[in-house]
Amino acid sequence: MKSSVTRRSIVAAGAMLALPRALRAQALFDTDVVIVGAGAAGLGAARACVRDGKRFVMLEARDRIGGRVFTDASLGAPYDAGAYYIHWAERNPWRPIASELGVALRDDRTIASGVWLSFENGRPVDRSSRRRNFGDLSRRFDPDEGEVPDVSFIQRVADAPELVQGARGLARMAVGEEPERVSALDYARLWEGDDLIAPEGYGALAQRFGAGFPVKLSTPVTHIRWDGRGVVVESPAGRLSARAVIVTVPVGVLAAGAVRFTPELPALTQEGLGGLAMGALTKIGLRFDGNRFGLPVNSNLWDEIPGVGGVNFECWPFDRNLIVALFGGDFARSVLAQGERAAVETMLDRLTAILGPQVRAAFKGASVNGWATDPFSMGCYSHALPGQAGARAKLAQPVGERIWFAGEATAVGDGEFGAAMTAGGAFLAGEAAARAVRI
Ligand SMILES: Cc1cc2nc3c(=O)[nH]c(=O)nc-3n(C[C@H](O)[C@H](O)[C@H](O)COP(=O)(O)OP(=O)(O)OC[C@H]3O[C@@H](n4cnc5c(N)ncnc54)[C@H](O)[C@@H]3O)c2cc1C
């Protein structure tokens, strides 16, 4: 049989070896880097590629960029359906980005102008004892108080029954999950700092920033091969070969098997994935006709159903005719399981119990952002399971020097920073991954 290695191919291979490394990569692969997902991490990776002169292709499953940073304008009055606070603004990359783009930011303390009222099943309650306990609760989850053990939120307050209810509320509203399933140590590692807000929307800011980057929308990646040189990334748009791939797909989506890997991912990466889960924080925007029910702008109503969960109703944010319901944990999952119409009815029932029948009379429309049922997020953001506080660092380890997992879930590097769960952290993780790719 005649050999397929011809004299011409040997000459071509020799010529290739003579090329500088970067040019050789250009000749071998369609592009240097494929970025999977155009959320905050994908946008961070894209900017780093541009700055480093790396060629890249960004593939995004949705018909828009921004991922979980999304300003919902469907009700005519915008609100952030995902990320809202620009946390630890002193070091958050979105702050200088906003400044470069001329996007105004405000300190969240300056907008806390309205009233804060608490209810239990629609009936007013006094929460002053809860507020008194808040300091003790914060100290339990604060790294400055010594090493926080890698146990669940509930175990962390096992010796202080007066803090249990607060720990439940913290887990459900800050992580979106039940307190038995969240690692206190993972939470304690998160950075603290000033919070800023973009009145026009965090999502609108991300859209403006990302508008200049090339991205293929409505292109879900289904398969990543890394059994040869570099990687081959498959999607409905075809196959793309690259030196490396940066996978910013949320861990809930990865755990559901939406992206296949050939060969399978190494044990360390799988351990990392297995140690993380996604909360169910949900937002429902409710539009009203101008009747403000006597509540000042930026008021908050907290309504608790004992033993089940609670809902925070943020009223008239930035003077808009909107109430935004925020809730998490298993309560959110059960509300979403009823379907969108029923979910809206549940929120209107709860508001009616607090404010009376005028709520339904003034109601104009709603939009449901159930991140836990969204196939491209499968949850609000990641948390480590109790005993698994090392999971993020495991997932952050590159695979075969050609697959980087980057996003809010890996925004800890090798444990050197505490930016997980946030849009700022996702950006930093994407940026770091793109810098680490060698072409
Ligand atoms: C209700 C809620 C409130 C929040 N509040 C805050 C807050 O106040 N402050 C804050 O900093 N953060 C907040 N967050 C978290 C923040 O939104 C996320 O941490 C951050 O946006 C995650 O960015 P990412 O790039 O890691 O992931 P994503 O934004 O999810 O980006 C991943 C992208 O991958 C795409 N994708 C999925 N599957 C595929 C596939 N197969 N192929 C191609 N693309 C795919 C997705 O569509 C998405 O665009 C909140 C989130 C929620 C849901």
pLDDT at 134 over 80: yes
Mean pLDDT for the stretch of residues 223-238: 97
Residue in the block written with tokens 């509320």: 169
Cα 292 to middle of ligand 1, angstroms = 32
Mutating to test ligand 1, I would choose from 68, 173, 378, 382 the residue with most ligand atoms within 8 A of its C-beta, which is 68
pLDDT at 5: 43
Q: Could you tell me if 124 and 118 are in contact, meaning their C-beta atoms sit under 8 angstroms apart? A: yes
Q: Collapse the DSSP code of 289 into the 3-class scheme (helix H, G, I; strand E, B; otherwise coil) and give the result.
A: coil
User: Per-residue confidence at 126, pLDDT binned at 50, 70, 90?
Assistant: confident
Helical H segments across 323-422, by residue range: 329-337, 340-355, 358-362, 391-396
Closest ligand 1 atom, residue 41 Cα: 25
Give the model confidence (pLDDT) of 294-335 as tens digits: 999 999 999 999 888 899 999 999 999 999 999 999 999 999
pLDDT at 7: 47
pLDDT at 345 over 90: yes
pLDDT at 190 over 70: yes
Which residues does ligand 1 sit against, CB inside 6 Å? 36-42, 59-62, 67-69, 82-85, 87, 220-221, 248-250, 253, 258-259, 281, 283, 371, 376-377, 380-381, 407-408, 421-424, 426
Amino acid at 414: D
State which H helix or E strand residue 117 sits in.
strand 116-120
The rounded distance, in Å, linking the Cα atoms of 226 and 285 is 43
pLDDT at 108: 83
Orientation angle between helical segments 40-52 and 202-210, nearest 10 degrees:
30
Question: Does 29-65+213-278+381-436 match 71-201+280-373 in CATH topology?
Answer: no
The rounded distance, in Å, linking the Cα atoms of 297 and 300 is 9
Mean pLDDT for the stretch of residues 71-86: 98
Lowest mean pLDDT among 40-44, 146-150, 292-296, 340-344: 146-150
pLDDT at 145 over 90: no
Of all protein residues, whose CA lies closest to atom 50 belonging to ligand 1? 83
Percent of the chain residues topping a pLDDT of 90:
85
Cα 399 to middle of ligand 1, angstroms = 22
Mutating to test ligand 1, I would choose from 249, 378, 404 the residue with most ligand atoms within 8 A of its C-beta, which is 249
The rounded distance, in Å, linking the Cα atoms of 385 and 374 is 22
pLDDT at 282: 98
Cα 438 to middle of ligand 1, angstroms = 26
CATH H superfamily, domain 29-65+213-278+381-436: FAD/NAD(P)-binding domain (3.50.50.60)
Cα 116 to middle of ligand 1, angstroms = 29
Cα 369 to middle of ligand 1, angstroms = 13
Per domain, the residue ranges of the chain are: 29-65+213-278+381-436, 71-201+280-373
Give the model confidence (pLDDT) of 383-426 as tens digits: 999 999 999 999 999 999 999 999 999 999 767 779 999 999 99
User: Per-residue confidence at 142, pLDDT binned at 50, 70, 90?
Assistant: confident
pLDDT at 23: 61
Assign domain 71-201+280-373 to its CATH architecture: Alpha-Beta Complex (3.90)
pLDDT at 1 over 50: no
Averaged confidence pLDDT in the chain: 93
Task: Give whole-number Cα distances, 216 to 34, 253, 330, 421, in Å.
Answer: 11, 19, 35, 25
Mean pLDDT for the stretch of residues 329-350: 98
The rounded distance, in Å, linking the Cα atoms of 135 and 8 is 75
State which H helix or E strand residue 252 sits in.
helix 251-255
User: Per-residue confidence at 46, pLDDT binned at 50, 70, 90?
Assistant: very high
pLDDT at 18 over 70: no
Work out the number of other CB atoms within 10 angstroms of the CB of residue 211. 10
Mean pLDDT for the stretch of residues 70-90: 97
Q: Collapse the DSSP code of 378 into the 3-class scheme (helix H, G, I; strand E, B; otherwise coil) and give the result.
A: coil
Helical H segments across 53-195, by residue range: 94-101, 108-111, 128-140, 153-156, 164-170, 184-188
pLDDT at 111: 73
Peptide bond before residue 20 is cis, with ω within 30 degrees of 0: no
Cα 90 to middle of ligand 1, angstroms = 21
- Give the predicted TM-score (pTM) of the model: 0.94
Lowest mean pLDDT among 114-128, 154-168, 335-349, 360-374: 114-128
Percent of the chain residues topping a pLDDT of 70:
93
Rounded to 5, what percent of the chain is helix, strand, coil? 40, 20, 40
pLDDT at 12 over 50: no
Task: Give whole-number Cα distances, 160 to 146, 155, 165, 332, 387, in Å.
Answer: 18, 10, 10, 27, 21
Q: Could you tell me if 249 and 259 are in contact, meaning their C-beta atoms sit under 8 angstroms apart? A: yes
pLDDT at 16: 52
pLDDT at 19: 61
Q: Collapse the DSSP code of 14 into the 3-class scheme (helix H, G, I; strand E, B; otherwise coil) and give the result.
A: helix
User: Per-residue confidence at 2, pLDDT binned at 50, 70, 90?
Assistant: very low
